């Protein structure tokens, strides 16, 4: 176990160094930061004498109307109650997260195809240490991106006198562990699929299914989308990281710290369970494409 973790650490360090040569991560991080600046500046512009009025901003007007239509006005009210940063955090982290997750899945598949992982396995590492290394790299980069975004938002908040409130801070660990859970599903897809394209398609399919289930379940009552989503997600929701993230959000909204912590623990447990599944699968299937 100790050797495996050591090997995973070496793989993670190597992959981190290689990631420094990936333009996609830099560009997506910059894009995320710029989106953050744009939305915060637009939010401040839409504040008048009576408060935040989304009608004064093209983007916020569209976004609030779209979200109100899908999830109801209460959702929008809660999302923007502290200010823009909770919504902006999700929008800013998304580009980096997608590039990182898709890049990791695709790379795993390519290295499997090329026999690179098999080569490592002949040495001191095994398949599990390889994917744990990849997972640790994703975790480290996500933590760095979230830290950078938070730092930038704190600066923007100070400049424009906006508040970075407790809801934003509570969302940070949820978003981080949610990202880890989705990375673990990416690894599962990579281990299960025969090649990089199939792994990517499977990962995007699962991601779309989980997103549709959560969005549908959170939508306003009366919509047929909600009825369908609730039916479909009755059993599948237990496998969806987004479901546990929504549990955390509900617990926080209800003012229950233990339920919030339990939601985080369940999200972490799901991540661990998926990684365990990856370990068992890679032991059975091997690392050959």
Question: Which residues sit at the interface with other proteins, rule CB under 8 A?
Answer: 20-21, 23, 25-27, 29-30, 33-34, 36-38, 41, 44-45, 47-52, 71-72, 74-75, 77-78, 81-83, 148, 152, 155-156, 159-163, 165-167, 217-222, 246, 250, 253-255
Query: How far apart are CB 228 and other proteins at their closest, in Å?
Result: 15
102, 110 contact by CB (below 8 A):
no
270, 244 contact by CB (below 8 A):
yes
> Among residues 68 and 113, whose Cβ is nearest to other proteins?
68
205, 146 contact by CB (below 8 A):
no
Query: How far apart are CB 56 and other proteins at their closest, in Å?
Result: 11
**Rounded-to-integer distance, Cα 165 and Cα 154, Å:** 10
Ordered DSSP codes for 145-205: HHHHHHHHHHHHHHHHT----HHHHHHHHHHHHHHHHHHHHHHHHHHHSSSHHHHHHHHHH
**Rounded-to-integer distance, Cα 129 and Cα 7, Å:** 6
> Among residues 105 and 156, whose Cβ is nearest to other proteins?
156
Query: How far apart are CB 79 and other proteins at their closest, in Å?
Result: 11
Query: How far apart are CB 155 and other proteins at their closest, in Å?
Result: 7
Query: How far apart are CB 76 and other proteins at their closest, in Å?
Result: 10
> Among residues 120 and 157, whose Cβ is nearest to other proteins?
157
> Among residues 201 and 259, whose Cβ is nearest to other proteins?
259
Alpha helices (runs of H) in 193-256, residue ranges in sequence order: 196-218, 224-236, 241-253
> Among residues 26 and 106, whose Cβ is nearest to other proteins?
26
């Amino acid at each position: 176990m100790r050797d495996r973790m050591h090997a995973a650490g070496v793989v993670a360090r190597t992959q981190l160094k290689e990631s420094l040569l990936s333009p996609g991560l830099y560009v997506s991080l910059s894009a995320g930061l710029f989106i953050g600046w744009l939305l915060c500046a637009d939010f401040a512009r839409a504040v008048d004498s009576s408060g935040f009025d989304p009608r004064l901003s093209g983007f916020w007007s569209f976004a609030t109307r779209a979200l109100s239509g899908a999830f109801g006005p209460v959702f929008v009210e809660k999302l923007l109650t502290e200010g823009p940063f909770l919504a902006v955090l999700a929008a800013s982290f998304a580009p980096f997260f997608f590039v990182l997750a898709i890049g990791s899945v695709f790379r795993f598949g390519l290295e499997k195809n090329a026999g690179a992982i098999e080569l490592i396995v002949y040495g001191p590492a095994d398949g599990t240490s390889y994917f744990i290394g990849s997972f640790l790299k994703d975790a480290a980069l996500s933590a760095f991106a979230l830290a950078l975004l938070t730092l930038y938002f704190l600066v923007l908040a100070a400049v424009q006198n906006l508040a970075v409130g407790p809801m934003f801070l509570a969302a940070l660990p949820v978003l981080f562990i949610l990202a880890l859970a989705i990375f673990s599903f990416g690894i599962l897809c990579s281990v299960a699929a025969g090649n990089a394209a199939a792994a990517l398609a499977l990962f995007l399919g699962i991601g779309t299914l989980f997103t549709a289930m959560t969005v549908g379940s959170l939508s306003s009552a009366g919509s047929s989308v909600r009825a369908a989503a609730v039916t479909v997600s009755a059993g599948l929701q237990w496998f969806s990281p987004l479901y546990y993230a929504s549990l955390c959000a509900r617990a926080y909204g209800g003012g229950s710290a233990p339920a919030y912590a339990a939601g985080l623990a369940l999200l972490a447990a799901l991540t661990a369970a998926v990684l365990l599944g990856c370990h068992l699968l890679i032991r059975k299937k091997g690392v050959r494409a």
